[in-house]
Structures are given as C-alpha cells and as structure tokens.
Amino acid sequence: MTKKILVIGSGAWGTAIANHLGNNNNQVFLYTRQSDYVKHINDTHRNPKIFSQHVLSKNIIAVNEYLNDVDFVFLAIPSDSMLNVLDQLRKIKFTTKTIFVNCTKGIYEVNHNKSKNKNNLCFFSDYFLEQFCNFHFAILCGPNFAAEVIEKIPTVTTIGCISFQTYLAIKDIIENNFFKTYYSSAIKCIELSGSIKNILAIGCGLIHGLGLGINAKSALLIKGIEEIKSLCKALQIQEDLTTPAGFGDIFLTCSSEKSRNYSLGISLSKAQEIPSNVNFEGQKAALLINDFAKKLNLKLDLCELIAKIINKQISIDNYQQEITKVIV
C-alpha cells in the first residue's frame, strides 16, 4: 500500500532517501526552504544543488511547507538545525499515526531551554520523546553514503526504535532488493556511536596523512570502540555495536576519503587550517565528548587526543608519538 511521506531536507541524504522511497512506490513530499528549488525539482525532476545529473522518482513532489497529513516524516537535516526544526514541527497538527524517522546522526550540547537534561550532553531521541510523547519515533543510521544509495548500490542500515511494530512499518516502505534494514532497540548507543565515529574518522585521517599504515588504523579503531563501550557503560545505556549503525558506520566513515571527517584528519596531519565554511561533525563531537567525559571523571584518551589536536594543543611534530602512546 502506498504511503505518504514527508522528507525534510533536500541535501544529499534527504534527496537520496526521498528518491529511494519514491522508487519504492511511495508518495514523497521533499521539503526545501527555497521556492526556486521547489519549482525546479517539480518541473525537471532534478535537484539543482545535489545529484543534478540524476532524474528523480516521478513520485516526488517538492514543497516548501510542512504537510501534516502524512504517514511518515523523515528528518534529513544538519544536526545543528534539528532542535529548531523539531520546535517548528511541534506546531503542526500531525495525526498520532505519523511515524518520525531521524536520519541525522549525532548528539548535542544543552543550550536549549526546553530540554530536561541538566548535563551538557543530550540525545535527539530524548528531546523528541519529551516534546512528541504521543508519536512513534525511530532512528535510521548505517554505512550509507548518499551518492551510493541514489545509484542503487547494495546498502544495509539500522532502524533503531522502541517498538518492533514501528520498525516493521518502516521496513515495509524502505526495503527492496538492494536496501536491507536491521532492527535495534539500542537507540542511544546508535546516537553515541554515530557521533564518536566521526572522531575516529579524524584519527584515521591523521594516521593516513602521517603514513602510519593500516595496522595503526586498526589499533585506533579498537581503541575507539573501547571508548564508545566505556561511555555507554558510564551512561548506563544499552550497548550494541555489531550492527550497521555500529561497526558498519564506523568502518565506512573511517576507511574512505569520501568522509569529510577522514579528510579533515588528513588536512590536520599537514597542519592545514580547518575550513570555517564546512560542517565537520567530528570536530564538534571531539570537543563535546572530551568535555563531558571529564565531568564524568571518565578517561577517554583517544577522544581527548583528537580534541587537543583540533585545539592546537599538540605540536604537529609530536602527532605520531602522541597517537602511538594512545593506541598501543
């Protein structure tokens, strides 16, 4: 049965997931703020700012307003915009049958007066459940490069949610012969891993740039996974890393120069300045996680090292020595 789906965000991942859902014979409304993009997409079935060479599914209609009569809402927006968008959506009268799917990875620091969490580290899932308590919520996370999804290259992902019935509903609209989903109830572990893997990607990029080899990258990943587990234990959250959202996403982000954060690590290894016009999730995550770990009296040596390198607290001449001390 065809479902009505609102996809918020017309960037790479929003466009790719909207196209994928449309190709699965769903009616998809792709939200973008720019009215000229709405006209261009509806007239040409192409997104002028991303994947412009691809003709998008005929089942996509671009819109510049939030529609409420939908079965699903997919959020594919930058993490910095998430809280503002959720606040806007609270004013929309969605039906209680609507399922919200967060495709945005990461955690955030509390500077938002509506959050009940008094620590400085918060999860989007907590905020959603506080503000949208009558709705179903899930996270979509995995080793999913948007450019490969739009090319219909074999892909797996994790759907994290409390209710298995919610998972089945999402599975029904998203799976096909090249896209498979796995269920996990470890929602916060997915969010935490989705943030820390960007820190690990910076570390792997550093190792690449310094020419330290594959052995060192493997050692760094082992150390990084240990630190994710340690933080899960300290926060008393369910740990499940043997999933597409766990190890799968870590492998993807830490093994390819397509990853922004991996490329940032290479740049740092050459003492290049961090571009101010690019959103490097790992840069923010390293500083946030390191600060939070200190408040917990939790020693996360790798996250601390990456934070110090980003803050220029370590000389480039000492990078190799300091990385080796942490991972070996």
The CATH code of the domain that includes 197 is 1.10.1040.10
In angstroms, the CA 314 to CA 286 distance is 15
Q: What is the pLDDT of residue 111?
A: 58
Choose among 215, 187, 185, 217: nearest CA to 200. Answer: 217
Residue 155 and residue 143 share a domain: yes
Angle between helix 260-269 and 187-210 (nearest 10):
40
Q: Which domain, by its residues, includes 201?
A: 188-327
Q: What is the pLDDT of residue 112?
A: 46
Q: Are 188 and 245 in contact (CB under 8 A)?
A: no
In angstroms, the CA 284 to CA 65 distance is 30
Q: What is the pLDDT of residue 52?
A: 95
Q: Are 10 and 39 in contact (CB under 8 A)?
A: no
Residue 246 and residue 153 share a domain: no
Residue 149 and residue 39 share a domain: yes
Tell whether the model's pLDDT for residue 60 goes beyond 50.
yes
Q: What is the dihedral of CA 222, 225, 227, 229, to 10 degrees?
A: -130
Tell whether the model's pLDDT for residue 163 goes beyond 70.
yes
Mean pLDDT value of segment 292-313: 95
Q: Summarize pLDDT for 165-208 with one digit per residue, the tens.
A: 999 999 999 999 999 999 999 999 999 999 999 999 999 999 99
Q: Are 62 and 22 in contact (CB under 8 A)?
A: no
Strands 136-141 and 99-102, bridge-based pairing: parallel
Mean pLDDT value of segment 279-304: 93
Tell whether the model's pLDDT for residue 279 goes beyond 90.
no
Residue 199 and residue 57 share a domain: no
Residue 10 and residue 143 share a domain: yes
Q: Is 15 exposed, middle or buried (0-12, 13-18, 19+ CB in 10 A)?
A: buried
User: What CATH code is carried by the domain that includes residue 35?
Assistant: 3.40.50.720
Residue 158 and residue 192 share a domain: no
Residue 143 and residue 35 share a domain: yes
DSSP string, 70-96: -SEEEE-S-GGGHHHHHHHHTTS---T
Mean pLDDT value of segment 18-45: 96
Of the three residues 143, 162, 185, the one that is the final residue of a domain is: 185
Residue 193 and residue 154 share a domain: no
Q: What is the pLDDT of residue 1?
A: 75
pLDDT category at 258 given cuts 50, 70, 90 is confident
Q: What is the pLDDT of residue 86?
A: 93
Q: What is the pLDDT of residue 80?
A: 84
Of the three residues 124, 156, 185, the one that is the final residue of a domain is: 185
Choose among 62, 74, 79, 33: nearest CA to 284. Answer: 79
Q: What is the pLDDT of residue 275?
A: 84
DSSP 133: T
Residue 307 and residue 181 share a domain: no
Q: What is the pLDDT of residue 133?
A: 82
How many Å from the N-terminal Cα to the C-terminal Cα in the chain? 54
Choose among 322, 324, 312: nearest CA to 286. Answer: 312
Q: How many domains does one find in the chain?
A: 2
Residue 199 and residue 180 share a domain: no
Q: Summarize pLDDT for 87-110 with one digit per residue, the tens.
A: 999 999 998 899 999 999 878 876
Residue 281 and residue 215 share a domain: yes
In angstroms, the CA 65 to CA 104 distance is 20
User: Which residue stretches of the chain are H helix?
Assistant: 12-23, 35-44, 82-89, 124-131, 146-149, 164-174, 187-210, 213-235, 249-253, 260-269, 281-295, 301-310, 319-327
Average model confidence (pLDDT) across the chain: 93
Q: Summarize pLDDT for 104-160 with one digit per residue, the tens.
A: 987 887 654 444 444 567 899 999 988 888 789 999 999 999 999 999 999 999 999
Residue 104 and residue 20 share a domain: yes
Q: What is the pLDDT of residue 96?
A: 87
Of the three residues 185, 217, 235, the one that is the final residue of a domain is: 185
Q: Summarize pLDDT for 202-251 with one digit per residue, the tens.
A: 999 999 999 999 999 999 999 999 999 999 999 999 999 999 999 999 99
Q: Are 168 and 159 in contact (CB under 8 A)?
A: no
